[in-house]
Amino acid sequence: TLAFFNGEFLPTDSLVIPIDERGHQFGDGVYEVIKIYDGTPFLMREHLVRLENSAKAIRLEMPYSIERFEELIQEGLTRAQLRDAQVYVQITRGIATRLHSFPDVPPSTSMTFRPSKSLTEETFNTGIKVALLEDERWYNCYIKSLNLLPNILAKQAAADRGCFEAVLVRDGYITEGSSTNTYAVKDGVVYTHPANKRILNGITRAAVLQVAQESGIEVREEAFTSEFLLAADEAFLTSTTAEVLAITHVDDTVIGTGTPGPVVRQLHAKFRKLIG
């Protein structure tokens, strides 16, 4: 597979990052994951705008304009000859002798271009199990930061229990998943945590909420408790890689009928139409 670092495209295996790269030493950067369906990047502009907002939030200058990023991504896809892919884009505060305060060096850009590892249709049809875990992250979860240690630990704890995802709870309220946004459906209304500093404002989330509104499904961007989730008629999660995925079990509790419900199925079908 193909990768990119600071202006150069190289095979992923031969690309080496300097030891003093700040992404490596400090996690001092931000990132995006963009999915490519049949040669077309999906919601790429939205992802790059969020990258720019994440960069601004950590006082990092964008190495390229959004338009230039779009060109580089297209070039990478052409070089890698990929039609169904996922592109990882990361920008950091550059390469400099290790010192916490900001160095006076240009930012770095890394990208990888890989075949997409999509979920099987069977997974969408059966739904998945999640584990509830304490949200131990910081208070700026709206930034798509490279610092993912709490997310990784939660995801692994969930995996150790045979779960697909960790759903995070802060002060009794569900925030989001370790790498997904979380939703509960009760009496036909879709509930999800408001897009404030406690969650990442998912690009898929925005698209799905739009689809729901266009379908006449009421959406309430309100935090809900873990008890509310356990008693929901349906639950689901969203992300660039997981699309719209039914949650059928939360730890040992069965959600609704234990199969993907009508609201989740309708939202996923309509979301797929957006993709083309």
The residues of the shown chain that bind ligand PDD, judged by CB under 6 A, are 33, 176, 179-181, 200, 202-205, 238-241
Minimum CB distance to ligand PDD, residue 136 (Å) = 13
Minimum CB distance to ligand PDD, residue 186 (Å) = 22
Number of neighbouring beta carbons within 10 Å of residue 181:
25
Minimum CB distance to ligand PDD, residue 39 (Å) = 20
Minimum CB distance to ligand PDD, residue 23 (Å) = 15
CA distance 123 to 219: 25
Q: What is the largest CA-CA distance in the chain?
A: 57
Closer CB to ligand PDD, 176 or 234, in the complex: 176
Closer CB to ligand PDD, 196 or 257, in the complex: 196
* Residue among 153, 152, 191, 151 at smallest CA distance from 173: 191
Q: Which of 35, 144, 155, 270 is catalytic?
A: 144
Closer CB to ligand PDD, 200 or 255, in the complex: 200
Whether 117 is a known active-site residue: answer no
HEC assignment per residue over the chain: CEEEECCEEEEHHHCCCCCCEHHHHHCCEEEEEEEEECCEECCHHHHHHHHHHHHHHCCCCCCCCHHHHHHHHHHHHHHHCCCCEEEEEEEECCECCCCCCCCCCCCEEEEEEEECCCCCHHHHHHCEEEEEEECCCCCCCCCCECCCHHHHHHHHHHHHCCCCEEEEEECCEEEEECCCEEEEEECCEEEECCCCCCCCCCHHHHHHHHHHHHCCCCEEECCCEHHHHHCCCEEEEEECCCEEEEEEEECCEECCCCCCCHHHHHHHHHHHHHHC
Minimum CB distance to ligand PDD, residue 236 (Å) = 13
φ/ψ region of 8 (left if φ > 0, alpha if ψ in -120 to 50, else beta) reads beta
Minimum CB distance to ligand PDD, residue 99 (Å) = 28
Closer CB to ligand PDD, 88 or 102, in the complex: 88
Closer CB to ligand PDD, 108 or 240, in the complex: 240
Closer CB to ligand PDD, 2 or 242, in the complex: 242
As annotated, the active-site residues are 144
